[in-house]
């Protein structure tokens, strides 16, 4: 009797948690698109699951992203509607499944004309791990061959709204509204990793005039026990950020700028399943001063940051704010934003 109660209690918790994911749920993962006997890998695809409302007469739907076979052959994103999930398996390995052997929808071709898409779909969502998998076999327009899209392991992309503070030349600036971070935790072999979508934002009255900073994605942060969060020095990732300025005098900036090849770091802390602190240090292009963008409140750890720096080889620079001032730590020494040693 106790086992039966435990099962139904766990089932109820799982279904409630699933139902509480209001709005579209986004999952990101690597996929494979196959057509005409050849396959193409697609990195970091985003799949969207929208839950229906029976009382409102709406059904579940899954949106498949663009599929690129070649520059001249792109299957544009399409949505499979009319779906309903079923529970499969037993606790704790049960999962939600959507399945249809006869869907029909449309998309827009690269020629601007509407194309018919028909086929079958099977998808599973494992709530305990946050993993989503989908397989779609379909025909497209008048193409003579069937095509296949498979994503075996996509993980939930969670959005977190937070206020942002951006420090430029020891002065804090803030956008008019909160920014939206999107984070994805997943297993890469035996290592847990984190991908973070850095949001775009606008700042008024900076030394460069009003400033627009574009968004970008940093992949592969790993957990650092010393720091108490997920960390990555992404200096060597070849990242760029789009900047547009509106100076009071002279010509402004408007372009993509490479991030500095040293000291470009991202640090994210969680409390439970919620992001509570984000610290992004970056220097766009040849800008003579770094930028520090932070959200939330940094959580204390058992090991002090100073002790951590002393136990690690000081081969990279780190940027942070201490007592309201911007500090660069390099080779165990501290410098201000102008490069003068403190």
Per residue in 238-291, pLDDT (tens digit) is 999 999 999 888 888 899 999 988 889 999 999 988 999 999 999 998 887 889
The overall average pLDDT reported for the chain is 84
Spatial CB neighbours of 276, under 8 Å, sequence gap ≥ 6: 269, 270, 296, 297, 299
- Angstrom distance (rounded) from CA 252 to CA 246: 6
The closest alpha carbon to 259, from 232, 241, 278, 271, belongs to 241
Residues 50-57, mean pLDDT to the nearest whole number: 89
* Residue whose token pair is 């990279």: 316
> How are the residues of the chain apportioned to helix, strand and coil, as percentages rounded to the nearest 5?
10, 60, 35
Look at residue 221 and tell me whether its pLDDT is greater than 70.
yes
User: Quick one: pLDDT at residue 10?
Assistant: 44
Residues 284-307, mean pLDDT to the nearest whole number: 77
- Angstrom distance (rounded) from CA 133 to CA 186: 14
φ, ψ of residue 260 to 5 degrees: the values are -55, 145
Q: How sure is the predictor about 192, in pLDDT bands with cuts at 50, 70 and 90? A: very high
**Kind and range of the H or E element at 3?**
helix 2-19
The pLDDT tens digits for 68-119 are 888 788 999 999 999 999 999 887 778 999 999 999 999 999 888 999 999 9
User: Quick one: pLDDT at residue 73?
Assistant: 84
Look at residue 11 and tell me whether its pLDDT is greater than 50.
no
Cα 234 versus chain centre, distance: 15
Q: Are 55 and 84 in contact (CB under 8 A)?
A: no
Look at residue 131 and tell me whether its pLDDT is greater than 60.
yes
- Angstrom distance (rounded) from CA 82 to CA 79: 10
């Amino acid at each position: 009797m106790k086992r039966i109660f435990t099962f139904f209690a766990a089932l109820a918790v799982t279904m409630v948690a699933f139902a509480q994911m209001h709005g579209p749920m986004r999952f990101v993962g690597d996929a494979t698109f196959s057509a005409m006997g050849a396959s193409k890998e697609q990195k970091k695809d985003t799949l969207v699951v929208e839950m229906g409302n029976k009382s409102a007469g709406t059904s579940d739907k899954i949106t498949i992203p663009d599929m690129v076979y070649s520059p001249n052959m792109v299957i544009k994103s399409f949505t499979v509607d009319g779906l309903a999930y079923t529970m499969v398996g037993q606790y704790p390995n049960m999962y939600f499944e959507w399945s249809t052997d006869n869907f029909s929808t449309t998309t827009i071709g690269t020629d601007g004309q509407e194309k018919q898409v028909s086929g079958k779909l099977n998808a599973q969502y494992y709530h305990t791990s946050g993993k989503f998998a989908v397989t779609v076999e379909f025909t497209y327009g008048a193409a003579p061959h069937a095509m296949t899209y498979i994503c075996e392991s996509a993980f939930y992309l969670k959005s977190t709204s937070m206020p942002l503070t951006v420090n430029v030349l020891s002065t804090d600036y803030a956008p008019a509204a909160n920014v939206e971070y999107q984070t994805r935790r997943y297993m890469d072999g035996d290592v847990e990793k984190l991908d973070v979508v850095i949001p775009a934002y606008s700042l008024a009255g900076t030394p460069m005039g009003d400033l627009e900073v574009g968004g970008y994605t940093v992949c592969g942060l790993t957990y650092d026990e010393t720091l108490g969060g997920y960390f990555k020095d992404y200096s060597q990732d070849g990242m760029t950020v789009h900047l547009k300025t509106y100076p009071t005098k002279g010509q402004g900036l408007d372009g993509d700028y490479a991030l500095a090849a040293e000291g470009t770091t991202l640090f994210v802390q969680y409390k439970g399943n919620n992001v509570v602190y984000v610290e992004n240090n970056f220097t766009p292009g040849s800008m003579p001063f770094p930028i520090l963008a932070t959200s939330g409140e940094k959580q204390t750890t058992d090991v002090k940051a100073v002790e951590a720096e002393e136990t690690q080889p000081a081969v990279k620079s780190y940027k942070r704010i201490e007592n309201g001032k911007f500090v660069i730590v390099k080779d165990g020494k501290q410098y201000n934003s102008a490069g003068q040693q403190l």
